[in-house]
Structure 1
Amino acid sequence: MKQLSVAFLTLGLLGGCTWVDLEPGAQSVAVARTQDVANCQQVGNITANVMDGVAFLDRDAEKVAEELSTIARNRAAGLGGDTVVPASSISDGSQHFGVYQCRNL
C-alpha cells in the first residue's frame, strides 16, 4: 500500500511539471493572434507536441498549452521568425503554429 501511495504521489507531481525550457534565442519570439500578423511575412509552419498525460493522469491543460507555445517559440527562432500564431486548437498534446517575421519589415 505504501508503494502504491508513493507511485501516485510521483505521478501527481510529474503531471504538474514543466518539461520544456525556453531557449535563449527564443526569448524575443512573441505569441500573437492571427489579426496581429496581417502586416508580417509568414516564414513557415510548425507542429509542437508534448505529453498531455502521464500514465492514466491528464496533465494540466494550461501547462500543456504553455509548453506547446514554448516549443513553438524555440522552433520559430531557428526558422528566423519572431512571432508565432496558434493555427489549431490543442489535440492530444499537439498544436499547429504559423511562424512569422514581423520586425524588420
Structure 2
Amino acid sequence: MRKTLLLLVPIALLGACTWGITLDDAAKNVRTAWSGDVSSCKDLGKVTVSVMNRVGPVNRNDIKVRDELEVMARNEAAKMHADTIKPLAEPSEGSQPWGAYQCGANRPAPSHQPPPPAGQSATPGNAETFPVKG
C-alpha cells in the first residue's frame, strides 16, 4: 500500500505541471478567434501543436491541456507573422490543428471564452441563479 502511494504521488504532481509552456512576446499580439469569422483574412496555413495529455496512466486536466495547446499555437502563428488563430478541430490525444491568419484591420472581435469541451453546452438556459438576500 505504501509503495503504491509513493509511486502515485510523483505522477499526480507531474499532472499538475504546466510543462514550462509560456507565451512568447511576439505571440502576445496573436488573437484567438474561437468562433469569429476569418473569411476576410489571409490564410497563412495550418499549425498542429501537441502536448502531453497524460502522465503514465493519469490523464492531465483537460483545461490545462487546452490552454497549453492555444499558447503553443499562438507561439507558432507568430513565427508565421499571423495575427489570428482559430481551432480547426477539437483536441485529440493532446494534439490540435489550428488555422493561422493575417487579418490586420479585419480581425474578428476578441473572444476570451473558448467553447465548452465536447459534450457540454454553453446555452444560457443551463445556468441556475439564486437571489441574494441583503
How does the TM-score come out when normalised to structure 2?
Answer: 0.72
- Residues 62-83 of structure 1 show CA distances to partners (whole Å, capped at 9, x for unaligned) of 0000011011000000001011
Counterpart secondary structure, 1:6: helix
Q: Which amino acid aligns with 2:10?
A: T
**Whose strand fraction is larger, Structure 1's or Structure 2's?**
1
Deviant stretches of 4+, over 4 Å: none
Partners of 1:90 and 1:41 in 2: CA distance: 24
* Partner AA of 1:66 in structure 2: D
**Secondary structure of the corresponding residue to residue 18 of structure 2:** coil
Q: Do structure 1's residue 60 and structure 2's residue 61 form an aligned pair?
A: yes
Q: Where do 1:1-105 residues align within 5 Å? A: 2-19=2-19, 20-103=21-104
Between stretches 14-23 and 81-90, larger displacement belongs to 14-23
| Larger helix proportion of the pair | 1
Q: Percent identity?
A: 38
Equivalence for 2:111 = none
Counterpart code for 1:95: Q
| Deviation (angstroms), 1:5 | 2.5
The aligned amino acid for 2:99 is G
Task: State the 1:34 CA deviation.
Answer: 4.8
User: Cα distance, 1:29 vs. partner?
Assistant: 0.7
Output the CA distance in 2 between the equivalents of 1:80 and 1:38: 18
Listed one character per residue, the Cα deviations across residues 65-103 of structure 1 (whole Å, up to 9, x for unaligned) are: 001101100000000101110001111101000000111
1:3-52 Cα deviation digits (max 9, x unpaired): 54233122111112112111111111111135331221111101010110
CA distance in 2, matches of 1:34, 1:66: 16
Structure 1: give runs of 5+ residues left out of the alignment.
Answer: none
The number of aligned residues is 105
Rg (Cα) greater in structure? 2
